[in-house]
Amino acid sequence: MVDLYRFIRPLLFRLSPETAATVSLRALQYGLGGLLAGRYAQPPDAPILQQRLWGLDFANPVGLAAGCDKNARAPDALLRMGFGFVEIGTVTPRPQSGNPKPRLFRLDEDRAAINRMGFNSGGLDGVVARLARRRRAGVIGVNLGKNRDSAGATEDYEEGIRRTAPFADYLVVNISSPNTPGLRDLQARASLEALLPRLLGIRNSTKYATPLLLKIAPDLTSAECRDIAEVALTTGIDGLIVSNTTITRPPGLRSRYATETGGLSGQPLFSASTTLVADMYRLTQGKLPLIGVGGVGSADEAYAKIRAGANLVQLYTALAFEGPALIDRIKTGLAELLVRDGFASVSEAVGSAHASASAGSAEARSSTGGGRVRLW
């Protein structure tokens, strides 16, 4: 199968990154997804990739992360590209334009991006209208945010839940974007203890039992991670998305855009976000479904997130570099890795690095007297 994206990419990369993203999404919206993907019908996913979670059937565990289709313009075309699920948003209650441009930078040498979009959003009215028009098929998550000028974050999330619960398969409370002042402070224990019960109450008051997830940042201290795990378990939130972009700049970035303000995504985020998946899996004793996101660009990386404790993975930045053929490559490779390691299904592999690491560390301790074992 010819991968047409190889030919389209040089043209897209001549545009500003934000224009390239907009053009690609419009192409999908107007039915050119098959052309971009280089095929018109996706082969069915291998049964080993299937998973049932929150009462939802995922044909495969590879999803599209929030930020690509903020206004639900092309969720079904994105699903047809082969994703097992698509998360739209972040959507804010009222329309807002976000930060001044330029606000998205591609770090080609680092396979990364930095964005400070600042929740540019068409608002809930448009999103709800578009979601209401679609025929429900495939798993769609809706990622919810707050308006920059809102006095109360809680009310904004409440409105988002109330209005999108009828049309979403799962909902995400995004308190981890680095580009809305004060948003990440909501990750503090006291804020979460106040916020989450209220939001779960609103969710419960709708007649839809839509799963409610929390998306967290990769820049948390160990104490903050422990707090989030405890509050997540006690409040009964349905899962965690780990993680959003990082405000840190890992050493070794080569691009001239590395010092731009905003959240870093892509390859350089992989290690920290995967470590955080492992930490949250351990802190929640594997009781809470996790979606692992950050730097996934290959089957090995998707598999590492799953072995660290993620039930599902998401990606975004790698899609700009690799194009839609990446999705199939990851799924095929992931199925092969699962078979190679003797797993009958994705769910069996979730968190498996912990078991082998503790066996490994027992060995390591007996031979070397201790030390940290790398999980991936």
Ligand X SMILES: Cc1cc2nc3c(=O)[nH]c(=O)nc-3n(C[C@H](O)[C@H](O)[C@H](O)COP(=O)(O)O)c2cc1C
Element (H, E) at 239: strand 239-242
Q: Which is nearer to ligand X, 64 or 77 (CB)?
A: 64
Q: Shortest Cβ distance from residue 339 to ligand X (Å)?
A: 25
Cβ-closest residue to ligand X? 67
Q: Shortest Cβ distance from residue 367 to ligand X (Å)?
A: 36
What's the gap between Cα 270 and its chain centre? 12
What does the angle CA 250 – CA 354 – CA 87 come to, to the nearest 5 degrees? 60
Q: Which is nearer to ligand X, 66 or 278 (CB)?
A: 66
Q: Shortest Cβ distance from residue 8 to ligand X (Å)?
A: 19
Strand segments, DSSP code E, in 325-365 are none
Cα dihedral 204/177/221/258 (nearest 10): 160
285 — phi, psi (to 5°)? 50, 35
Q: Shortest Cβ distance from residue 41 to ligand X (Å)?
A: 26
207 — phi, psi (to 5°)? -85, 10
Nearest partner of 139 among 178, 87, 92, judged by Cα:
87
Query: Are residues 242 and 293 in contact, defined by beta-carbon separation less than 8 angstroms?
Result: yes
Judged by the rule CB under 6 A, the positions of this chain that interact with ligand X are 65-67, 70, 89-90, 104, 113, 115, 117, 143, 174, 177, 215, 244-245, 265-266, 269, 293-296, 315-318
Q: Which is nearer to ligand X, 99 or 357 (CB)?
A: 99
Q: Which is nearer to ligand X, 51 or 314 (CB)?
A: 314
Q: Shortest Cβ distance from residue 174 to ligand X (Å)?
A: 4
Question: Among this protein's residues, is 177 annotated catalytic?
Answer: yes
Residue in 121, 150, 176, 177 annotated catalytic: 177
Q: What is the DSSP string of 243-297?
A: ---BSS--TT--STTTTSSSEEEEGGGHHHHHHHHHHHHHHTTT-S-EEEESS--
Q: Which residues pair with 292 in a beta bridge?
A: 242, 313
What's the gap between Cα 251 and its chain centre? 24
Q: Which is nearer to ligand X, 70 or 163 (CB)?
A: 70
Active site members? 177
